[in-house]
Structure 1
Amino acid sequence: MYLGIDLGTSAVKTILVDDAQRVIASRSRALRIDVPRPGWAEQDPAAWIAAIFATLDALKADHARDLAEVAGIGLSGQMHGPVLLDAAMKPLRPCILWNDGRSAAECAVLEQRWPALRQVTGNKAMPGFTAPKLVWIADHEPRIFSATRLVLQPKAYVRLVLSGEAIEDVSDASGSLWLDVVKRDWSDEGLAATGLTRAQMPRLVEGCAPAGRLRADLAERWGMTRHPIIAGGAGDNPAGAIGIGAIRPGATFITLGTSGAVITPVASVTPNPERVVHTFCHAIPALWLQAGAMLSAASCLAWIARLLGASEAELLAPLGASPAAPSPISFLPYLAGERTPHDDPDVRGLLDGLSHATDRNTIVQAVLEGVAFALADCRDALTDTGLVMAEADAIGGGSRSDLWLAILANVLTIPIHRLAEGETGAAFGAARLARLAVTGEAIADVCTPPARVRTFMPAPALAADYAERLPRWRRLYRRS
């Protein structure tokens, strides 16, 4: 048996997977995001631990026999957030999250201090990444900065609590802007640009490597008899790639979760930081991921549902499985700023073209289309590096919607595939990494792709209509 624990932004999800890679049980707990000021986002690391422990306690209550047989634990989680620890290994402040935009000015400072940043990390300095947040903390909270003895990403903090060891995998470390992504090692020059040293960083491992064991007292709490190994694990998107078997160059997939992305594994790094392409190490050796990333995807549908006082299912039901034509209004999904291709933490969302004839259905369809158009921007930024995308798998909560995937297929003009178990990707990927860390099996034997349960094909006439609409939609950015 193997556990996959995914520390998301809005919830923790823990799954129990057997040796046949069947999900035996799943438990989740919601998380709250604190917004001290507009454009800021924080979470208390103690809330993560409480939620994870609650999911494991629930599994113990209902599946004690299966939980007792767990041999390995895999961790995945939200990326980029710094957990600053003092000499007693206690958090000094709440974690500043990946969608926090406060450190925009510090990005320019960091790139000035470290001219080789883009070449070494494969990325542009953006406020979502970890390093600019540390520059902000050094400037605005100098006492906390000077008291910092260790800087961990969210899931590495979870590992510290579970095992007592400070270890990070290279995929999550890629999102810090301190990693030399080709060498898969910390950059001393990058750390120095932020006033840090290797002594304040965790030890690095590959995601499929052993990285500590569960503490004996916790193993006893959950009735585990094998003193489970904890795998290196992965950031959320690399773990999602492992979960769907995206372990070969060109295996493109699209995430429709709280945030969204178009992601492709590559065998060598061809960065495009000017177009805000993200370059990360994959969770397995000798492979990387390049991505176009957007900050708000399925969260846009949650926002409009909350605004209109209806459930997401109630909003989608009247629209059917496929649009007849594009919505007459347009939506920019920049509710929390945007990454690819704009790197603009201050831009905000926009509904354009409203009239007395606008109804709820028109608005909801426009929201789905706006996310699809933004993913087209991500796709184009990736293809600028020479990548060719002939098809894509879709994962995340948004992939449940036939309508959304039909829109996406027509906007991107490629087949979009829905996968079996496409919503458990990150947690399932973490469980697979746990198995690899325990057994040492061949990666390709464990990380097999799930079945494609449905394919959404572009319709020529509708795809042409969206192609005509896309340039007009892009011009709205200048008005937002």
Structure 2
Amino acid sequence: MSEPLLLGIDLGAGSLKSTVITGAGEVVASASAPVETLVPKPGHSEQDPAGWWVALVASLKSLWEAGVDPDRVVALSLTAGAHTSVLEDEAGEVLRPAIMWNDARSGAQVTRGRAEAGTEILKRSGNRISATWTLPQLMWLADEEPDVHARIRSLTPAKDWLRRKLDGSRATDLTDAWGIMLADAQNGGWSDALCEMAGIRTAVLPAIVRSTDATGTVTEAAAAETGLRAGTTVICGTSDTNAETYSAGMTRPGIGALKLATAATVSTLTATPAFSDDVIHYPHLVPGHYYAITATNSCASAHRWLRDALFEDIGFDGMDRKAQTVPAGSEGLLFHPYLSGERSPYWDPDLRASFVGLGFAHKAAHMCRALYEGVAYSLRDCLEVLRQRGMGFTTARLVGGGTRSALWRQTIADVTGLTIEVPEQGDASFGAALIAGIGAGVFSDTDDAARAIRVGETLHPNPENASVYETGFGLFRAATQALTGVNHDLVAAARGAR
């Protein structure tokens, strides 16, 4: 009998990736398909859910064309970014494009929410209200698109909307429930009080199950569209960061995880959540644990922006080669990656990106290196928040698309002072495949599945570069503070001009 296979599907901000692994954790094949992000106005970020399904079908078709036998896939699971939800009407029709986690439009609603119920929201949801969460996004809809808001009859997190198209289920896991900011972090289930603030009823929300629970099987209709075998077991899944940190090896307290993806995150495992204004908390895949997370909004998205703006002719590889010609510190050039406002530690949707210190001596190569360093400084800003709360660590697993650059990997080590371990496989689609295996009984539990996680590279800080970056980090922070008021004025002026 042929060895059974496991399928993990991850919906990212720029693409959807599907990965097939064996029961030993070996990757058989992976395939990706692009996903388009819409920016109808400055600060807005949306996606059409229909495009997710097109990308899912396309990625699976590529797997089958590569020789993967869908009949050998015994189970599948899905992940996606948190805070992104699909709204549907009575007939099940999508009401509008899904508002993304990096959307900054709800700043006014966040300010109002903090003033009127900030402490209550933190106590009930476990997290501080900011523009990234679904709760203030729903408040924005009630204010700005009341006709759409009034017609909401179903609210479904992104990965669960995709999974429903595969198995017909209506459920989500606890991590994504927290991500909506409508779950009761103290008592479990949905919070009537938070739903009231959002102007919806709990009846429009899906059931909450475990990430590793089976929610159904692939339907005949879905099988016809995707090529999957009808009857294949479907496992709930979880948020991308939950899956990614687990698949990277953050399986016990004391190990951190850094993610260089569309956004960049710093995470660590905790036995209990310490709800606070400056650290995000979610339930983790490891039973009985949570993960504390701080995040910078723009990472690979900033990298892509710079490529599209100035370096389309040479692409990412060309940018990397240019960056390697510039010394640490970019000869006095700083980059702040606040293209979509910022989360940790500033929680300010009106911060904006900037190159600071430009002179005639600076060339295109300096801008490439300064971007790597700017994102690394933002990660250091995030790490300092955890350190101040006694949740620091000395070793971290590094994951995400940004890890493809050897220079960026080393820069992260030099700026943060951490020992960096790079897993052989550590993306969310790999984590989703492990979750599928746990749910289907291929692995006995999360500890068993974690045996498939292997480190491919270990990096230590370069002392000479670390000294340069210690000075640079202080200047990075000082420039952020000095430009905050200017950024606010610029954003206000742009809004007034529209």
Same fold (TM over 0.5): yes
Shift of 1:300: 2.1
Q: Which moved more, 1:186-195 or 1:223-232?
A: 223-232
Partner of 2:31: 27
Q: In structure 2, what is the Cα distance between the partners aligned to 1:158 and 1:167?
A: 11
Gaps (5+ residues) in structure 2?
Answer: 488-498
2:301 is matched with 299
Residue number in structure 2 paired with 1:186? 190
Displacement after TM superposition at 1:324 (Å): 4.8
Shift of 1:446: 0.8
**TM-score, with structure 2 as normaliser:** 0.91
Bigger Cα displacement from structure 2, 128-137 vs 453-462:
453-462
Cα distance, 1:385 vs. partner?
A: 2.0
Q: 1:294 is aligned with what amino acid?
A: T
Amino acid at match of 2:42: P
Contact 1:210 1:437 in 2 (8 A): yes
In structure 2, distance between residues paired with 1:296 and 1:136: 22
Is 1:206–1:285's contact at 8 Å kept on the other side of the alignment?
no
Q: Which residue of 1 aligns with 2:495?
A: none
What does 1:21-420 align with in structure 2 at a 5 Å threshold? 21-63=25-67, 66-111=69-114, 112-113=116-117, 115-222=119-226, 224-225=228-229, 227-273=231-277, 275=278, 277-309=279-311, 310-320=314-324, 323-325=327-329, 327-420=331-424
Q: 2:432 aligns with which of 430, 433, 438?
A: 430
Cα deviation code 1:308-360 (max 9, x no counterpart): 22211112124449945554111101011111111111211010111111112
Output the CA distance in 2 between the equivalents of 1:224 and 1:155.
Answer: 18
Q: Does residue 480 of structure 2 align to residue 477 of structure 1?
A: yes
Deviation at 1:450, TM superposition (A): 2.8
C-alpha displacement of 1:55:
1.6
1:451, CA displacement in angstroms? 2.6
Contact preservation (8 Å) 1:83, 1:151: yes
Give the direction of change, closer, same or farther, for the CA distance of 1:314–1:324 in structure 2 (3 Å limit). Answer: same
Q: Deviations over 1:87-134 (max 9, x none)?
A: 122211110111111111111333424641112222111111111011
Residue 73 of structure 1, CA deviation: 1.0
- Alpha-carbon distance, 1:197 to partner: 2.3
**For residues 322 and 183 of structure 1, what CA distance do their matches in structure 2 show?**
53
CA shift in 2, pair 1:446/1:339, >3 Å: same
Distance 2:388 2:306 in 1: 33
Question: Matched residue of 1:179: which SS?
Answer: coil
Distance 1:113 1:325, change over 3 A: closer
Q: Within 2, Cα distance between the matches of 1:447 and 1:88?
A: 42
Q: Which amino acid aligns with 2:87?
A: L
Question: How many aligned residue pairs are there?
Answer: 475
Q: Does 1:464 align with 2:440?
A: no
Alpha-carbon distance, 1:247 to partner:
2.1
Q: Distance in 2 between matches of 1:232 and 1:247?
A: 20
Identity %: 31
Runs of at least 5 residues in structure 1 that lack an aligned partner in the other structure: none
1:15 aligns with 2:3: no
Q: CA deviation at 1:294?
A: 0.9
- Aligned mates of 1:221, 1:100 — CA distance in 2: 31
Q: The residue matched to 1:253 in structure 2 has which SS?
A: strand
Partner of 2:496: none
| Cα distance in structure 2, aligned partners of 1:173 and 1:39 | 25
CA distance, structure 1, for counterparts of residue 477 and residue 83 of structure 2 = 28
Q: 1:232 to 1:357 in 2, by over 3 A?
A: same
Q: For the structure 1 residues 225 and 34, does the alpha-carbon distance in structure 2 shift closer, same or farther, using more than 3 Å as the test?
A: closer
RMSD over equivalenced CA pairs, Å:
1.9
Q: Specify the code of the residue in structure 2 equivalent to 1:134.
A: L
TM-score by length of 1: 0.94
CA distance in 2, matches of 1:324, 1:101: 32
Moved more, 4-13 or 212-221: 212-221
Secondary structure (helix, strand or coil) at the match of 1:68 reads helix
- 1:180-227 C-alpha deviation (Å, 9 max, x unpaired): 335443222211221222211100012112122221332355554561
**Are the structure 2 counterparts of residues 405 and 62 from structure 1 closer, same or farther at C-alpha, using a change threshold of 3 Å?**
closer
